[in-house]
Structures are given as structure tokens and as C-alpha cells.
Amino acid sequence: MHHFALDGGALHAEDVPLTTIAEAVGTPAYVYSAATLRRHARALSDAFAPHAATLGRPVIAFAVKAASNVSILKVLAGCGLGADTVSEGEIRRALAAGVPPERIVFSGVGKSDAELALATSLGLRQINVESAVEMERLAAIAGGAGRVPDVAIRVNPKIGAGGHAKITTGGAGDKFGVPVEEALTLYRRFGRDPRLNLVGLACHIGSQITDLTPLRAAFGVLAAMTRTLRAEGLPVPRLDLGGGLGVAYAGDDPTAPLADYAAMTADTVGGLSVDLTLEPGRLIAANAGVLLSRVIQVTQRGDGRRILVLDAAMNDLLRPALYDAFHDLVAAAPRDGEALPHDVVGPVCETGDTFARDRRLPPVEAGDLVAFTGAGAYGATMASEYNSRPLVPEVLVDGDRWAVVRKRPTYDEMLAREPIADWL
Ligand code: LLP
């Protein structure tokens, strides 16, 4: 559920007409609904509430890579969410948004020495280590710093899942995590090392997962490993179950109900008395944001193809070009008339800059305002300035209030970032 809806023939974000924002900020621009972010955060914790006796209250560490704007993180921090981070930049964003260090998880397959030292000195909730080499590096850094970080091992359960090969992370051939047997060996090796405090296991097998079967299998692997290690006297107080739950990008997309997800979690790890961490990104943010764009022109080819050229492009919303992802396109003030197939494209000089082919759309004309829905996750965070198009701005709406929370750079600001070598 989200808070973007037609009211009096005009698309609104909560109480604010999108035309108001487009006129003030220009297009393209991302617009987020704070009420939707809060609703999604609450829906997930509500789904787990009936299982509090077996699962406790999971820490929900929002995957910052999905939507890293500090104001968005601040809304979510206000709902009690933590942060799952993968770089110093993301850690700094989470801290700037007021997420307490003990709710920040540091994940990722390639953490630098400086990042490991920072995570150790900040006393983050945990560092999810992804290889034996990284564990050795962290032990040396922590030993030198005289501070003992909480550490989990990210397991590769050889169960990949997700909406596209490029976003599957748990498969045997994927670069992430430590294979099960090696992870057990690593836990035994470092479980009693005074420089590190091993607190548990983690996994994240993919993204845009709409069927719980692979998640159930992966959680089962973590549960079995937990029992094995405990039987050897090693404490395993926590499990980090990652993110990955899919959302509906089109009205009829299948999704796994949150109640089923929570029940499946209780089934698989409920008897273990572990502290849980969840790392949802898309689930919280995708349907909380739209990308606003203006129609530059509509052309019709000799063969009858209608081409809708927008002022948004692949540099603003990369998902269709990178993953063939579907994002619905709606008019901010829909016109009456027959829906006809259109190719929807941006101005960037690549064929990949095509948002949709043969998409049936009601009549649209040059100057019309349109919005891609489901763009709140992995939209603005993956934007670039390709073709020297200034970085797309972000706007946050909350009731009848709204604010620009990431500014569009001016052309002068873009150029000022590039000092010309004084020897040129
Ligand atoms: N935890 C870890 C360790 C992750 O790598 C990810 C996402 C998440 C949590 C959050 O996953 P989510 O709940 O959002 O599925 N750019 C792609 C998605 C890449 C996901 C990468 N990892 C897209 O636009 O579909």
C-alpha cells in the first residue's frame, strides 16, 4: 500500500499535487511519501508481533543502498529502524540520520582496512564478515585498536533466489558469503579469539524474491549450523536473515504475504532463542517513491510506432536498462481516450535508454507530467550524471508538507567539481 493516488483528476503524493512539486523543482525528480515509508516499516514489525514469544522483536536494519537519502533514513530511524550498510558513506549517512551505532550492521564483500577500523571504533551492532581473509584482517585491526567488535559470518548457503540473475546473491557461483563447511570451520577458529566477539551467522540470498521456498531453505541452513556450533559449546546468540522480499511493481505481481514470511521465520529459527536482524530494502522503499518526468515529445513512425520521449533517462532510473525491470507509468493528470502501445524512452544516446516497449498508455502529449511508480528503491541511489545530465533531485512529502531533500546541481556546480589540471 502506498500514498500516491488520484484526487480530483490529479495525482498526489499524500496531500500534495505532483504538479506543485514539478513546477517548483523541475523534472526529472524523485518524490517520496513519508507515510508510506512508515506504513511499510510498521507492516513488517506488525507481522512479527504475533511471534514475539519465539522470535523476540527483530532489529529491522533498513538496507541503505535501496534509498540512502538522509531524510528517508531519518523517517525510518524515527520508526525504530536500524541500518544495513555496505560502505563508510552509508555508515556516515545512517549516523547523520540519527541511527544509533548499535543498530547499524556493516555488510559487504570488500571492506577496506579503514572501513573495518571505523566500524570497530564505532561499536556497530555487528560486522558481517564474508571470507576467512577478511576475518583475519578484522582480527588484526581490532587487536591493534583494543576494541572487540561483534562479528557475524555471512554464509553462502548455495541457494540463490531473486527477480533477476544480476540480483541473486546466495548461489554457489555468486561472490558473496562463506560456503557452509568453511563457515563452520571459520566460526570454530575465531569463536574463542579474544580480539573478536562472534555473535552469529548471516545470509542474504537475493532480491525481489516472491516465493518463500528458497528463503525457508536458507533459514533452515542457518538453523542447522546454529545447532551444530552450539553442540560444540560455541555461543550463537544472533541470526541476520538478510532482506530480499519482493514487491508488486505491477498490480498483478505475486508477492509473499508478510504474515507468511514471519510464520516461516518462526518455523525455521523460532526454537533457537536467537536475536534476529532483518535487512529489508525494497520492501520498505520501492512503493514509497515515484520518478516524476515530463513528456518532451510524442512521435509516430511510418510503421505506426508511437515513441514517447521523456525528460527522464536511464541515468535517472537504471533498473529497466540493467535488469529489464518493469515500472508502471502513470499520468499526473490522465486524459480520456483509447490506450495505445508506446515505446517509452529517454534522451540518452543508447538504445538501452528504453523504459518500456509496446506499453499501452492512455493519450499523452508533449508537456504532460508522468510518474514511474515503484521507483523508491534502487532508483535515486543508482542514478548518475551520464550524458552530463545533472544528478536527479529528491523530494520528501509528509502530509501537506514537502521539501527538497537532495538538490539538483546547477551546471556551474557540476563543472566546478572538475578542476582543470593547471598544466593544461
Ligand atoms: N542485505 C544485503 C547484504 C544486500 O546485499 C541487500 C541487497 C539487501 C540486504 C536488501 O535487499 P532487498 O530487501 O532490497 O531485496 N539494484 C537491484 C537490487 C540489488 C540488491 C542488492 N542487495 C535492483 O534494483 O533490483
What is the per-residue pLDDT across 364-393, written as a single tens digit (0 to 9) for each?
A: 999 999 999 999 999 999 999 999 999 999
Burial label, 219 (beta-carbon count in 10 A; 0-12, 13-18, 19+) = buried
| Residue of 53, 349, 420, 424 marked catalytic | 349
pLDDT at 168 over 80: no
Distance from chain centroid for Cα 124: 20
Pocket test for ligand 1, best of 64, 204, 249 (most atoms within 8 A of CB): 204
CATH 3.40.50.2020 for the 34-284 domain, yes or no: no
Domain boundaries, the chain: 4-31+286-416, 34-284
67 pocket-lining for ligand 1 (C-beta < 6 Å):
no
204 pocket-lining for ligand 1 (C-beta < 6 Å):
yes
d(CA 179, CA 130): 10
Name the pTM for this structure: 0.97
Q: For residue 35, which of 76, 77, 82, 95 has the smallest C-alpha distance? A: 76
63 pocket-lining for ligand 1 (C-beta < 6 Å):
yes
349 is catalytic: yes
pLDDT at 251 over 90: no
d(CA 364, CA 377): 26
**3-state class of 283 per DSSP?**
helix
Q: Please give the CATH architecture assigned to the domain spanning 4-31+286-416.
A: Beta Barrel (2.40)
d(CA 193, CA 368): 63
Given the CA of residue 202, which atom of ligand 1 is nearest to it?
3
**3-state class of 207 per DSSP?**
coil
Report pLDDT for 211.
95
Average the pLDDT over 91-117 and give the result. Answer: 98
Upstream peptide bond of 409 is cis (omega within 30 degrees of 0) = no
pLDDT digits (tens, 9 = 90+) for 37-74: 999 999 999 999 999 999 999 999 999 999 999 999 99
238 pocket-lining for ligand 1 (C-beta < 6 Å):
no
pLDDT at 252 over 80: yes
Return the DSSP state at 36: H
d(CA 192, CA 35): 45
Report pLDDT for 134.
98
Between the alpha carbon of residue 335 and those of residues 13, 296, 340, the distances in Å are 19, 17, 13
Percent of the chain with pLDDT over 70: 100
pLDDT at 1 over 80: no
Report pLDDT for 163.
80
Return the DSSP state at 377: S
